[in-house]
């Protein structure tokens, strides 16, 4: 039987197919279905920095209100149920999911500044998270802030979370850093045990009738896998073998999982395909992965991993440029003629 076992963030996974952060992974019954279908690990949806900061403000307000009243007026203290906040609910959901399944459960924090909310990293670890995924999601729209400052503030977040927890830490990155290879290495040096490549940015649309900006979540398409494939291939030989790599964006089938592993990913993660086809899709992707490995006489995913990374390419930047030129010259269709 082909061995699908992999190691990710120092954790042993029975399969490299992971359910990434999304609506299904926050719902205990869907998580159970994902694990039954063969998910190697679960990444819960993100707890957002803004939610935590609001909660801390409300908490302080609740404690301070009534502070100048008579101390025996115990009714001034807020009721515990009133304090049930997004953070509390997340911790409770994490504990519930942990009790249900025996695969690693990774909690996700979404941040764009370092600050007091970092204590949540410790609370998530205490509630049983096997690892944390830090989702760095920020749009650098301030023209006074230079690229180096943007990178520095991201690295500060990674270091702050690293200092707060002992559990493994993955960092989910956007593809929009100008010196990705350098930044990826610095994120690893700041304490990340793994990189998740890449975050998808949700671009709002415009409603032309209402003249309003409307948020639209589009599920991904398989071609979106090419960006993570390229960067995982480039980064795998540049990073220490102790740094895990996860592919996210455009993993829809077992063959996509094969590609991600071939360029050097330790796991391939899915959200859109699972939302489209349901949790059982993990089982179909796994069967396709097994079939491909058998057909090509691989006995394990370990044997395939990294066989197509860029370790044998002297200068990946030059290689990418020459491929770009070749690609543009390869267009065989006839030009559209009016």
Ligand X SMILES: Cc1cc2nc3c(=O)[nH]c(=O)nc-3n(C[C@H](O)[C@H](O)[C@H](O)COP(=O)(O)O)c2cc1C
Q: Which residues bind ligand X (CB under 6 A)?
A: 20-23, 45-46, 108, 110, 135, 172, 200, 217, 219-220, 248-251, 270-273
The distance of closest approach from Cβ of residue 286 to ligand X in the complex, given in angstroms and rounded to an integer, is 15
DSSP symbol at 167 = S
Nearer to ligand X, 15 or 110 (CB): 110
Contact 17, 39 (CB under 8 A): yes
Min separation Cβ 250 and ligand X, Å:
5
Closer to ligand X by CB, 172 or 230: give it: 172
Whose Cβ is closer to ligand X: residue 86's or residue 237's? 86
Tell me the CA end-to-end span of the chain in Å, nearest whole number. 58
Minimum distance between the CB of residue 21 and ligand X, rounded to whole angstroms? 3
Question: Closest separation between CB of residue 248 and ligand X, Å?
Answer: 4
Strands (E), 14-67: 17-19, 42-48
CB of 108 to ligand X, least distance (A): 5
Q: Is the CB of 120 or the CB of 298 nearer to ligand X?
A: 120
Question: Whose Cβ is closer to ligand X: residue 28's or residue 78's?
Answer: 28
Q: How far is CA 286 from the centre of its chain?
A: 20
Nearer Cβ to ligand X (170/298): 170
Whole-number Å distance between alpha carbons of 210 and 150: 35
Task: With CA atoms as reference, report the closest residue to 32 among 103, 129, 107, 130.
Answer: 103
Residue 80 CB, nearest distance to ligand X (Å)?
Answer: 27
Longest dimension (CA), the chain: 86
The two tokens of residue 184 are 């990826």
* Rounded-to-integer distance, Cα 63 and Cα 75, Å: 12
63 Cβ neighbours under 8 A, 6+ residues apart: 77, 78
Using an 8 Å Cβ cutoff, are 323 and 313 in contact?
no
């Amino acid at each position: 039987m082909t061995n699908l076992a992999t190691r990710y963030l120092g954790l042993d996974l029975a399969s490299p197919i992971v359910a990434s952060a999304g609506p299904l992974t926050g719902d205990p019954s869907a998580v159970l279905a994902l694990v039954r279908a063969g998910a190697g690990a679960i990444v819960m949806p993100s707890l957002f920095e803004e939610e935590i900061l609001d909660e801390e403000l409300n908490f302080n307000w609740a404690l301070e209100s009534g502070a100048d009243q008579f101390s025996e007026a115990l009714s001034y203290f807020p009721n515990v149920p009133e304090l049930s906040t997004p953070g509390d609910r997340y911790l409770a959901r994490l504990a519930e999911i942990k009790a249900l399944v025996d695969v690693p459960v990774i909690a996700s924090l979404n941040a764009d500044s370092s600050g007091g909310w970092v204590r949540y990293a410790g609370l998530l670890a205490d509630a049983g998270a096997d690892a944390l995924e830090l989702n760095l999601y920020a749009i650098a729209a301030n023209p006074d802030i230079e690229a180096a400052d943007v990178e520095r503030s991201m690295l500060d977040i990674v270091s702050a979370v690293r200092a707060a927890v002992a559990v493994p830490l993955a960092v989910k990155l956007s593809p929009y850093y100008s010196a990705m290879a350098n930044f990826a290495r610095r994120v690893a040096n700041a304490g990340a045990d793994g990189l998740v490549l890449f975050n998808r940015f949700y671009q709002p649309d415009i409603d032309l009738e209402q003249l309003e900006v409307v948020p639209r979540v589009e599920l991904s398409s398989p071609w979106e896998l090419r960006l993570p494939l390229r960067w995982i291939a480039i980064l795998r030989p540049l990073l220490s073998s102790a740094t895990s790599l996860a592919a996210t964006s455009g993993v829809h089938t077992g063959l996509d999982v094969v590609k991600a592993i071939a360029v050097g990913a330790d796991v391939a993660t899915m959200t859109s395909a699972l939302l489209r086809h349901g949790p059982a899709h993990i089982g179909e992707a796994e069967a396709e992965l097994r079939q491909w490995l058998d057909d090509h006489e691989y006995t394990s995913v370990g044997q395939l991993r990294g066989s197509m990374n860029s370790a044998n390419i002297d200068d990946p930047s030059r290689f990418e440029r020459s491929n770009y030129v070749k690609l543009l010259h390869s267009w065989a269709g006839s030009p559209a003629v009016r």
